[in-house]
Structure 1
Amino acid sequence: MPSHARPRTGRVPRTLLRAGLAVSAAGAALTAGGAATASAAPAPAPAHGTDTGATASALTGALLHSVAGGVGPVKNLQLDPLANTAVDPLANAVATQIADFKPVSTTLVTGPLSRGAALRDVPLVGLATKVLPG
């Protein structure tokens, strides 16, 4: 198509685009400047003879509460999203018995998962999760 036959685009959309880019660049510059100013401020030095034991215990308590809030729900989540459904692949079990020995089956491992167990309900992993807070 020849250039004289092309439809002419108005100047308004291009002008709005340039204005939007200028505002975005100015906002990014202000944000970067504010972050640089905030991180450049030195922390005040503690006075001699202050008790840091209370501060350390407060920080320890805050850390334990935040870890318990983050790890606690993970221990209670259902591991198999298809548990207790007709299409659960872990609901199938394989078993074998040799001579008069006790039969061995995969339901010992996959049984709790196919019934909707959480991380704390799995036989060997559940013991390890007791050391986690929450």
Structure 2
Amino acid sequence: MSLRSRRAMLRTALALSALGTALTAGTATATAAPAEVPGAGDVVGGTLHGLESGVAPVTHLQLDPLARTTVDPLTNGVATKAAGFRPLGTTTVTKPLTDGASLSELPLLGQVAKALPGGR
């Protein structure tokens, strides 16, 4: 048997097996109960549920992986005091991060994160 005839036989066998699979799948779906078309409320509810499941873990994730360790570079800070004003330093900004805060616990961004679905 030549190589050309072997290839032709193989192609025919593959086509027949694909046809059999398609026919079997068609009869399986034809005997199943007809599916209902989802309404707009179902679509919106499913979308919000999906967003909640995807956004919630991100908003509760610790932002600084080195927080509360001795090697956290954000614990270093610079401060200055001018005249009679309170001292102003960089640690007041980085303190929530070095304490291990998540996005939902930050002072300004936390309010925005809580407004997202699943932000609680």
Give the TM-score taking structure 2 as reference length.
0.65
**Candidates 72, 82, 86, aligned match of 1:88:** 72
Deviation at 1:99, TM superposition (A): 0.9
Task: Give the aligned residue type for 1:92.
Answer: N
Q: Aligned match of 1:105 in 83, 86, 89?
A: 89
Partner of residue 61, structure 1? 45
Unaligned 5+ runs, structure 2:
1-13, 23-36
Matched residue type, 1:77: L
C-alpha separation in 2, matches of 1:106 and 1:113: 12
Large movers: runs of 4+ above 4 Å: none
Structure 1 position 109, deviation (Å): 1.1
Query: How big is the shift at 1:80?
Result: 0.4
Aligned residue type for 2:99: R
Quick one: distance in 1 between partners of 2:66 and 2:114?
Answer: 26
For residues 69 and 62 of structure 1, what CA distance do their matches in structure 2 show? 10
Percent identity reads 51
Q: What TM-score results when the alignment is normalised by the length of structure 1?
A: 0.59
In structure 1, distance between residues paired with 2:114 and 2:92: 21
Q: Which amino acid in structure 2 is aligned with residue 76 of structure 1? A: H
Q: Does the residue aligned with 1:123 lie in a helix, a strand or coil?
A: coil
Alignment coverage as a number of residue pairs: 86
1:76 equivalent in alignment to 2:44: no
State the Cα RMSD in Å: 2.2
Q: Distance in 2 between matches of 1:129 and 1:119?
A: 7
Q: Which residues in structure 2 correspond to 1:1-134 (within 5 Å)?
A: 55-134=39-118
Q: Point out where structure 1 has 5 or more consecutive residues left out of the alignment.
A: 1-25, 35-51
